[in-house]
Amino acid sequence: MTAPATTTTAPGKEHQPADETARQDDAFDRDVLPTAPGATAALLRSLLAPMKARVAFTTLLLLLQQAAMQAGPLLVAYAIDSAVPAFRDHDNGPLVAVGVGYLVCALASGSLQSAFVVAAARVNQDVLLDLRGRIFRHAQALSVDFHERYTSGRLISRSTTDVESLRELLNEGLQELVGVVLSFAYISALLLWLDLGLGAVAVASFVPLYLLIRIYRRRAGRVYRARSTAIAAVIVKFVETMNGIRPVRAFRREAVNDTDFGVLNTRHERTNGDALLEMARYVVGSRLVANTAVAVIVLWGAHRVADGSLELGVLAAAVLYLRRLYDPIDRLGMFLNSYQSAAASLEKIAGLLAQTPSVAEPAAPKELPPLESEHPGREVVFDGVRFAYRTGGEVLPRFDLTLAAGQTVAVVGSTGAGKSTLAKLLARFYDPSDGRVLLDGVDLRDLAVPELRRGVVMVTQEAFLFSGTVAENIAIGRPDATREEIEEAAKAIGAHDFVTALPDGYDTDVRKRGGRISAGQRQLVAFARALLADPAVLILDEATSSLDVPGERAVQRAMATVLKGRTAVVIAHRLSTVEIADRVLVMEHGRIVEDGSPDELVAGTGRFADLHRAWRDSLA
Ligand SMILES: Nc1ncnc2c1ncn2[C@@H]1O[C@H](COP(=O)(O)OP(=O)(O)O)[C@@H](O)[C@H]1O
Ligand SMILES: [Mg+2]
């Protein structure tokens, strides 16, 4: 019976070196999942790639706008040195030309700017739309074990605050940066052309500025990463508390939660303070450099105007240009802010997108053999299966089990015995650490996901309802089902009466009327959904636990219908459910300790006989 482990999918826990596991756990705790070097930049490139032409057009608009804007001081220099002297000689042509030129440049710069803002906003919208979609699709495709560790609060924070900080970068920051870089280039060139010496002083001031920016970037990067982790922690705590509002109330957790939330909130606040402090240091440093450069140029320039080696107009233009040059440096700090914040966010998003499902789709999917009409249902084999969750010890130590096609198998055992784990392996929520789970001889890992979902359906205690109508919730089992088929499934389950008693019957919105749909009724809807899906293998994991006794009797009757013609695994606390089974398995500590028909086991002297006797007594 021993079969070699297949190696088609990612190895399970015990094949992973311990330090790798520890590293991964640490990454989850710090909320920064590992990415390949350059993954963040690659993500940004892949987002912009589909709109290359539009990005180029937008950049062109900005280039032209800058050219128009930077013409101003040059015109002033011309006015002072040539047009005003000409005007004194009664030639007003040049001065009129300067005035008209100035006006044209201002108009052009304004309209180009507005065209740019519109074009850039359109590109940004599309980038963000794409990114949110990617996050959703990717997160949805990741395996259950990922979601058990990466809470929904974190996912919410990825697709809200993190996407938002990218939006800020694209909307304001990038425009700012390109503007600043362009004006640096334009202005340095113009200054050098106007006067080599003055230009050289301006260009020399770039060196300390560059160093300042580098230091700021490094320090702010750290602060921003901490800040984005801190805000995520606030959101996680918020979502967790509100999701669990009932136990919070029941156990009077409000005060404790307030304190915990206060701590997280304060930590976020403090990281904000750190960020502002870094910003303030940067602004002080850059102003010092800028003002020193201006002072040098004014003093030296004035000296040269006095001895006649520099024209006054050129000095005036140079000072005007310098102001334009250094003005945006504070804003450059702002940009670096939004850049750092966006980089930290993108890094987290890239880390999320880099996660691969641990339960992978097969490269070469196999098909299930056609169902036999004689014995519908499929044979299930657990072949040398061993399983451990990522966190914790082995739950199933070497497990061999064959369930015949069409059999109804009840699984009982104490809490924590591993019953749900067995069910989840059969539904392929997880892959075994070792061994194989076979459906009609085909390894679950070789089945295409749609085929697996048609083959095996699991109904759990939670019986989750999605927003939408009751009918829509049942139709999830088979989206192309007609209203008649939906109602038939509900009737077979015994849900029809309660549904028709709802205000809008099958069209009742379950969210709006959510309070009126009890846990038991939700389970009935989940049953109807499963019946409609008509899988070859049906797993019910404590799926009748919320039903009251008359409800359970009704379901008992209905279950005979539902389970007929398929392989069924029924995990049940209540022994009444067990009586309809062909075979009963008693599980303890991940092993099957008893196996037989209900009658055999009741007649025997094992655990099931004890349980059954106790149950009988409780009924009397
Ligand atoms: N998602 C999980 N991560 C880690 N350990 C788990 C997880 N789910 C269950 N376990 C552990 O596996 C063991 C078996 O659990 P389970 O299969 O749910 O038992 P049962 O359904 O029989 O009550 C328990 O010790 C439980 O703590
Ligand atoms: Mg369970």
> Mean pLDDT, to the nearest integer, of 502-515?
79
Q: Which atom of ligand 1 is nearest to the CA of 571?
A: 21
Q: Are 143 and 266 within one domain?
A: yes
Nearest ligand 1 atom, CA 422:
17
* Cα separation, 329 vs 335, whole angstroms: 9
Higher per-residue confidence, 119 vs 4? 119
Question: Mind listing the pLDDT tens digit for each residue in 232-274?
Answer: 889 889 988 988 888 888 888 899 999 999 999 999 999 999 9
- Closest ligand by atom to 145 CA: 1
Half-sphere exposure of residue 217: CA atoms within 13 angstroms, side-chain side: 12
Rounded Cα–Cα distance for residues 172 and 199 (Å):
29
How sure is the predictor about 473, in pLDDT bands with cuts at 50, 70 and 90? very high
Residues 311 and 420 reside in one and the same domain: no
Is any atom of ligand 1 closer than 6 Å to the C-beta of 417? yes
Residue 360 CB coordination number (10 Å):
14
Domain boundary among 353, 370, 396: 353
Does 365 map to a domain? no
| Range of the structural domain that residue 164 is part of | 39-353
- Examine the domain organization and report whether 348 and 435 are in the same domain: no
The whole-angstrom separation of Cα 591 and Cα 611 is: 18
450 plus 525 within the same structural domain: yes
| Cα 24 to averaged position of ligand 2 atoms, centre (Å) | 27
Supply the CATH number for residue 444's domain.
3.40.50.300
Are residues 165 and 96 part of one domain? yes
Residue of the CA atom closest to atom 24 of ligand 1: 416
pLDDT of res. 343: 86
From residue 386, alpha-carbon distances to 416, 418, 430, 595 in Å are 16, 12, 12, 20
Residues 310 and 390 both lie in one domain: no
Q: Give, in order, the Cα–Cα distances in Å from 512 to each of 246, 509, 515, 521, 546.
A: 18, 6, 8, 15, 21
Q: Specify the residue with its C-alpha closest to ligand 1, atom 6.
A: 389
Atom of ligand 1 at shortest distance to CA of 413? Answer: 22
Report the number of distinct structural domains present in the chain. Answer: 2
Nearest alpha carbon, ligand 1 atom 3: 389
Q: Mention every residue, 6+ apart, whose C-beta is less than 8 A from residue 82.
A: 94, 313
Ligand nearest to the CA of 399: 1
pLDDT mean across residues, the chain: 85
Ligand 1 binding pocket mutation candidate from 382, 387, 421 (most atoms within 8 A of CB): 421
DSSP label of 360: P
pLDDT tens digits for 415-440? 899 999 999 999 999 999 999 999 99
What is the Cα–Cα distance from 176 to 161, expressed in whole angstroms? 21
- If asked whether residues 455 and 545 sit together in one domain, one would say yes
Which of 353, 369, 396 is a domain's end point? Answer: 353
CA dihedral sign, ordered 228, 234, 237, 240: negative
Residue nearest to atom 25 of ligand 1 (CA): 416
Confidence class for position 549, pLDDT limits 50, 70, 90: low
Q: Ligand 1 within 6 A of 420 CB?
A: yes
Residue with tokens 């098909």: 367
Q: Ligand 1: does its nearest atom lie under 6 Å from the Cβ of 388?
A: no
Is the per-residue pLDDT at 71 higher than 50?
A: yes
pLDDT (0 to 100) of residue 92? 83
CATH number of the domain where residue 342 is located: 1.20.1560.10
Q: What's the pLDDT at 16?
A: 47
- Residue 410 within a domain: yes
In short, whether 391's Cβ falls inside 6 Å of ligand 1 is: yes
373 in a structural domain: no
Calculate mean pLDDT across residues 343-369: 88
SS3 sequence of 2-71: CCCCCCCCCCCHHHCCHHHHHHHHHHHHHCCCCCCCCHHHHHHHHHHHHHHHHHHHHHHHHHHHHHHHHH
Is the same domain home to 349 and 404?
A: no
Please check the confidence at residue 11 and state whether its pLDDT lies above 80. no
Residues 343, 384, single domain; the answer is: no
CB of 393 sitting under 6 A from ligand 1: no
Domain membership of residue 3 (yes or no) is no
Looking at the structure, tell me whether residues 343 and 416 fall in a common domain.
no
Q: Which one of 302, 318, 353 terminates a domain? A: 353
Residues 458, 326 share a domain: no
Burial bucket for residue 325 (CB in 10 Å: 0-12, 13-18, 19+): buried
**Is residue 184 located within the same domain as residue 226?**
yes
**pLDDT at residue 552 is higher than 70:** no
Q: Give distance in angstroms: CA of 418 to centre of ligand 2.
A: 7
The pLDDT-based confidence of 20 (bands split at 50, 70, 90) is low
Please state, in angstroms and as integers, the Cα–Cα distance from residue 132 to each residue in 221, 314, 507, 578, following that order.
Answer: 24, 52, 31, 47
Q: Which bound ligand lies closest to the C-alpha atom of 389?
A: 1
Instruction: Establish if 359 belongs to a structural domain.
Output: no
pLDDT computed for residue 13 by the predictor: 39
138-165 pLDDT, tens digit each: 998 898 888 888 878 888 888 888 999 8
Q: CB neighbours (10 Å) of residue 236? A: 19
Tokens of 465: 């309802």
Instruction: Please report whether residue 1 resides in a domain.
Output: no
**Torsional class of 361: left (φ above 0), alpha (ψ -120 to 50), beta (otherwise):** beta
CA of 18 to the centre of ligand 1 (A): 21
Ligand 1 atom nearest to CA at 541: 21
How far apart (Å, rounded) are the C-alpha atoms in residues 225 and 223? 6
Find the 437 Cα to ligand 2 centroid distance in Å. Answer: 19
- Whether 567 maps to a domain, the answer reads yes
Q: Would residue 368 count as lying in a domain?
A: no
Residue spans of beta strands (DSSP E) within 142-301: none
Quick one: CA torsion of 543, 548, 551, 553, rounded to 10 degrees? 90
CA-to-CA distance for 105 and 114, rounded, in angstroms? 14
